[in-house]
Amino acid sequence: MQCVRIVGGRPLGGSVEIGGSKNAALPILAASILTDERVLLHSVPRLDDVHLMLSILKKLGGDVTLEGNSATVRMGCVSAVPDFSAVCRMRASICLLGPLVARCGEAVLPLPGGCAIGPRPIDLHLKGLQKLGCEVIQSKEGVRLRAKRLNGARIFLAGKNGGTVTGTANMLCAAAIARGTTEIHFAACEPEVVDLCKFLTGMGAKIYGIGSPILTVDGVDSLRGAEHRLIADRIQAGTFALLAPMLRGDMAIKRAPISHCAALLDVLERIGVPFSADGDCLHIFGGKCDRLAAIDVSAMAYPGFPTDLQAALCALATQCCGESAIGERIYENRFGHLVGLRSMGAGITLAGSTARVVGPTKLAAAELSVADLRGGACLCMAALAASGESIVDSVHHMDRGYEQFEEKLRSIGADIMRFER
C-alpha cells in the first residue's frame, strides 16, 4: 500500500505551478473518438486517471502517445466495447458512452456502481441518449446502447441534485454528429464543459450558448482533428489556496485559472485571507492572516463553491475561529474525510449534508486512511498543520487527481515522504 509520512507544523511558503485540468482532460480525450483524424492536446496532466483513459483509447484501436504534457490520439478504427477491467477502475469512463455510440452506432460499458463519495447514478446519461435515438439495454453486467442514426432532440438534463457534468459531455458529443438540432436544457456550466465545447468547436462542431445552461447543437456530418490546450485545474489551484492560510504561509499559485475561482475567492475573502491576482498568478498571503473567521457555505454546481474543494475547506475550517457550516448539495454523503479530521481532534458534527466544524483546533498527528481523491488532499492538509508525524495510507487515490502533489508540497517546504507498506 502506498503511504506518505508527513511531519507537520512546518511553515510553508513559495510558489507552485498548476497543471491541466483532470476533469477537462478525461471527457476531451473520450471525445477524440469522434474523429478518425489526429487530435493533439497540450497541458495534459500526468495522472493515473489520464493514463487509464489513454490506455482504454489504445485498446479501443487508437494510436496514442503522451510526451511530456502533450498527447496525440488518432482513433483510426474504433471498437464499441472497451476493456471492462480498465473501465471499471474509473468512474469517468462513463464519458466514453456518447462518443462511442455516436462513432460506432453501439457502445457497451459496465454499469458504474457507487463509490466512496456516494451513489453515482447514470440515469440522466441514459435518458438523454435515448432522446437522441439510442436503444438502451441494461443487464447486470452493464449497459448496451445501439443507434442506427442519432437524431437531434430537446433534452432536459436535470435530476434531483441538479445538472450533470459528464452527462452534459456525453450529450454534446452525441449531438455533435447527430442529424438535426439538439437543445440541452439544464446543461452543466462548469469550465470543464466549456473547454469540451471549445475542443468540439475546433473539430468543426456547431455549438451555441457555450457556458450557459441551454446549449444548442447543430449536428454536422463529421468532425475533423484538432489541436487544443486544456484549461488549468481549478481544484488543484483551490487546494493550494486553502492550504496557504491553514499553514499561515505566503503562496504564489502560478497558472491559476482565476476567472474560474470566483466562489473560492469569495470564501477566502469572507474567512479573512488576503490575496491578489497578477495575471494568472494568484498570491495568497497566509502569513498576513491573524484570525481566520468561520465560514457558512454550501458546495453546489458552478459557479458555486465546488464540491471537489469541500473536503479541503473542511480542513481549513478546523483552523477558523467559531463554528463553520459547510454544506454539500451535489453528493450528500461526500464526508468520508471527517473521520480522519475527528481522529486528529477536530470538533465536527454532521447534520444531514452539513458539516459543522468548530475551531480553531490544534490538530494532533495521527494514522490516517484515504478513501477518495479529494478526501486525501484534505487529510494531507490536516497532517501538514498538525504537530508531529502523521502517516497517511492509500494515497494512490490522490495520484488520480493531483499531479506531483508531494513534489509540489516539498518545493514549498513540506516534510512529506512516500513509502510502501
Binding site for ligand EPU (CB under 6 A): 23, 26, 92, 119-125, 159, 161, 164-167, 188, 192, 307-308, 330-331, 373-374, 401
> In angstroms, what is the minimal distance from the CB of 127 to ligand EPU?
8
> In angstroms, what is the minimal distance from the CB of 370 to ligand EPU?
12
> In angstroms, what is the minimal distance from the CB of 172 to ligand EPU?
13
> In angstroms, what is the minimal distance from the CB of 163 to ligand EPU?
6
> In angstroms, what is the minimal distance from the CB of 232 to ligand EPU?
14
**Of the two residues 209 and 303, which places its CB atom closer to ligand EPU in the complex?**
303
**Of the two residues 145 and 373, which places its CB atom closer to ligand EPU in the complex?**
373
> In angstroms, what is the minimal distance from the CB of 122 to ligand EPU?
5
Whether the Cβ atoms of residue 147 and residue 140 lie closer than 8 Å to each other: no
**Of the two residues 156 and 419, which places its CB atom closer to ligand EPU in the complex?**
156
Q: Which of 34, 48, 28 is nearest to 402 (CA)?
A: 48
Category of 200 on φ-ψ map: left (φ > 0), alpha (ψ -120 to 50) or beta: alpha
Whether the Cβ atoms of residue 18 and residue 41 lie closer than 8 Å to each other: no
**Of the two residues 64 and 97, which places its CB atom closer to ligand EPU in the complex?**
97
> In angstroms, what is the minimal distance from the CB of 41 to ligand EPU?
16
**Of the two residues 108 and 312, which places its CB atom closer to ligand EPU in the complex?**
312
Label residues 140-168 b or e (16+ Cβ within 10 Å = b).
eebbbbbbeebebbebebeeeeebbbbbb
Whether the Cβ atoms of residue 187 and residue 158 lie closer than 8 Å to each other: no
Whether the Cβ atoms of residue 319 and residue 293 lie closer than 8 Å to each other: no
115 is a catalytic site residue: yes
The active-site residue, picked from 77, 88, 104, 115, is 115
**Of the two residues 126 and 363, which places its CB atom closer to ligand EPU in the complex?**
126
Sheet holding 70-74, edge to edge: 63-67, 70-74, 38-42, 226-229
Cell numbers standing for residue 103: 462513432
**Of the two residues 97 and 252, which places its CB atom closer to ligand EPU in the complex?**
97
- 375 CB contacts (<8 Å, ≥6 apart)? 116, 311, 336, 337, 340, 397
Catalytic residue numbers read 115
